[in-house]
């Protein structure tokens, strides 16, 4: 049994526009004493995954399901009070992003580090303070820091205090939510070294959430890549860095500037999708350079492409008068010159085939038919590829079909 096993985890938020599918069917396992880094763009659901595990949920939760097994305890089965008493800080703690604001400005840091002890163990003030001081020393801070207020500390010191706060109850696992994002590079390196040291000394497990692939490489044993609420690739860090499988992972790796080598960083075209109505099929398909026929193309996407299309005329074909979406899989195109028979679709089919090479959206077209004077385009059913591979999994048709 793995130390932490997350299976089919969902976390949706209710908003006025609809459900935000922040975490959608995420599954992963991790072993004791290792680090799993979750990497992805802002808003891809990394922090929500941590929230779903630690149940630090906002009020507008729409769906919170799945199985989270920690040391063979089903966390989702625990009541809120039980979870608070047994799991929070005793087993899992969290280091929040933005250490600058994670400390209350009005109390001394020693008090704040001691707070979880007072809350959970009901310790006397002196005893809690003594343990807090010891913990501050564990993270490499002198004990007199305990009597300081947060505004008297530097960013790196504050971050250490926040880490001390997470470690004060000696948890087995720590969720690190962008623990170094507000710090300069030197301090980042210091903190990462501290985290490594602590992991070795105290056999900690880390769920490390970051948007920084480089930083993740410092700490991660396993790497998980998230995109639009999905975990698209998961595997041992070394393998994943050397041979990324998913097109998104590859694009992400190419977007990182390198000190050596002539390769310029590349951006990923398009914008991250709206999580209220995420793209059908593979959520990355609209931005994917590889996208296959069943990756999830829908009639509205094709309609948008056709409406902005002028190349039809350039190819000597009749201009498009109107494009109507019939349903997700069917599109009706009214041409300026209505084709009279099936044979006249020939040039059109050839044009579409030609476009498939450069614009992936045309690959979604399964076939063309005549209906009255209009052309009806039928699209492939979206199919989401399941994760492929055993220790190194990725969810992409690329892996099953080959490039």
Partner 1 sequence: MPAPPPSVGIKEAFREAIRTKSGLAGGIMLAALIAMVVIVPIMAPYSIVKRWGDGQQWLDNPRYAAPVWSEWFTSKELPESAIFEPNDFRKIRINTTQFNLTFVSLRRSFTYTADVFPSELAMWAWATYGTGSTPSVIVTWIRPDGQEVEILNEGPQVRAPTPNTYPFSSTGQMSRSAQAIYNWALSFNATSLAPANSTTPWLYVKPEVTLFAVAGESMLDFRRAEVLKGEYAIRVELLGFTPEDDLDAKFIVYGTIFGLAGTDNTRRDLLIGLLWGAPVALAFGVIASFVIVVIQAVLGAISGWYGGWMDEILQRMADFLLIIPLLPILIIIALFYEVGIVQILAVLIVLGFVGSTTKVIRSLVLQIREEQYIEAALSYGAGRVRILFKHIMPRIMPYTFALIALSVPAYIFLEASLSFLGLGDPVLPTWGSLIGNAYSDGALFHGYWWWIVMPAGGILFATVAFSLLGYAFDKVLNPRLREE
Binding interface with partner 1 (CB under 8 A): 54, 56, 84-85, 88-89, 93-94, 96-98, 101-107, 112, 115-116, 119-120, 162, 165
Do residues 8 and 66 touch, judged by C-beta distance below 8 A?
yes
DSSP-assigned letter for residue 301? H
CB 129 within 8 A of CB 80: no
Q: CB-wise, 54 or 191, nearer to partner 1? A: 54
Q: Of 63 and 120, which CB lies nearer to partner 1 in the complex structure?
A: 120
Q: Of 17 and 59, which has the nearer Cβ to partner 1?
A: 59
Task: State the minimum distance, in angstroms, from the CB of residue 84 to partner 1.
Answer: 5
Nearer to partner 1, 146 or 348 (CB): 146
Q: Which of 317, 318, 304, 294 is nearest to 366 (CA)?
A: 294
- Work out whether strand 92-95 and strand 173-177 pair parallel, antiparallel, or are unpaired: parallel
Residue with tokens 């602590």: 198
Q: How far is the CB of 98 from partner 1 (least distance, A)?
A: 6
For the chain, the distance separating the N- and C-terminal CA atoms, rounded to the nearest angstrom, is: 35
- Shortest distance, position 202 Cβ to partner 1, whole Å: 18
Q: Dihedrals φ, ψ of 132, to 5°? A: -65, -40
Q: Considering the complex, state which of residue 85 and residue 196 has its C-beta at the smaller distance from partner 1.
A: 85
How is residue 310 annotated by DSSP? -
Angle between helices 185-202 and 155-167 (to 10 degrees): 20
Which one, 103 or 377, has the nearer CB to partner 1? 103
Whole-number minimum distance, CB 322 to partner 1, in Å? Answer: 44
Strands (DSSP E) found in 317-356: 320-327, 330-335
Residue with token string 């985890």: 9
Task: Assess contact for 23 and 52: CB atoms under 8 A.
Answer: yes
- For partner 1, the closer of residues 84 and 148 by Cβ is 84
Crossing angle for the helix pair 109-120 and 125-138, nearest 10 degrees? 120
Residue 127 corresponds to which tokens in the numbers above? Answer: 């005893």
Q: Where are the alpha helices (DSSP H) in 144-208?
A: 155-167, 185-202
Gap between the Cα atoms of 227 and 281, Å rounded: 13
Q: Which residues of 3-39 are buried (b: 16+ CB within 10 A; e: fewer)?
A: bbbbeebbbbbeeeeeebbbbbebbbebeebbbbbbb
Which CB atom, from 204 or from 240, has the smaller least distance to partner 1?
Answer: 204
């Amino acid at each position: 049994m793995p130390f932490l096993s997350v299976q089919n985890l969902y976390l949706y938020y209710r908003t006025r526009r609809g459900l935000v599918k922040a975490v959608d069917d995420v599954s992963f396992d991790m072993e004791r004493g290792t680090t799993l880094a979750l990497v992805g763009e802002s808003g891809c659901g990394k922090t929500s995954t941590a929230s779903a595990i630690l149940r630090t949920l906002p009020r507008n939760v729409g769906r919170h399901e799945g199985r989270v097994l920690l040391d063979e305890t089903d966390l989702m089965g625990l009541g809120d009070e039980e979870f608070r008493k047994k799991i929070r800080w005793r087993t899992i703690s969290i280091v929040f992003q933005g250490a600058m604001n994670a400390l209350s400005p009005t109390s001394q840091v020693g008090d704040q580090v001691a707070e979880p002890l007072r809350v959970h163990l009901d310790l006397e003030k002196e005893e809690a303070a003594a343990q807090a001081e010891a913990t501050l020393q564990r993270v490499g801070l002198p004990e007199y820091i305990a009597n300081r207020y947060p505004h008297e500390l530097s960013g790196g010191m504050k971050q250490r205090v926040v880490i001390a706060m997470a470690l004060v109850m000696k948890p087995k696992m720590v969720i690190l939510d962008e623990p170094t994002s507000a710090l300069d590079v030197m301090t980042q390196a210091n903190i990462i070294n501290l985290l490594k040291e602590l992991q070795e000394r105290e056999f900690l497990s880390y769920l490390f959430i970051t948007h920084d692939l480089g930083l993740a490489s410092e700490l991660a044993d396993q790497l998980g890549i998230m995109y639009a609420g999905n975990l698209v690739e998961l595997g041992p860090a070394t393998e994943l860095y050397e041979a990324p499988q998913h097109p998104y992972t590859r694009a992400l790796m190419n977007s990182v500037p390198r000190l050596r080598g002539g390769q310029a960083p590349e951006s990923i075209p398009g914008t991250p999708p709206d999580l209220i109505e995420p793209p059908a099929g593979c959520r990355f398909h609209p931005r994917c350079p590889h996208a296959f026929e069943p990756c999830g193309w829908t009639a509205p996407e094709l309609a948008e492409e056709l409406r902005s299309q002028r190349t039809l005329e350039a190819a000597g074909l009749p201009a498009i008068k109107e494009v109507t979406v019939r349903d997700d899989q069917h599109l009706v195109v009214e041409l300026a010159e209505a084709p009279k028979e099936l044979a006249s679709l020939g040039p059109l089919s050839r044009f579409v085939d030609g476009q498939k090479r450069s614009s992936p959206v045309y690959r979604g077209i399964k076939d063309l038919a005549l209906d009255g004077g209009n052309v009806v385009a039928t699209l492939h059913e979206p199919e989401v590829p399941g994760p492929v591979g055993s220790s190194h999994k990725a969810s992409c048709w690329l892996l099953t079909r080959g490039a």
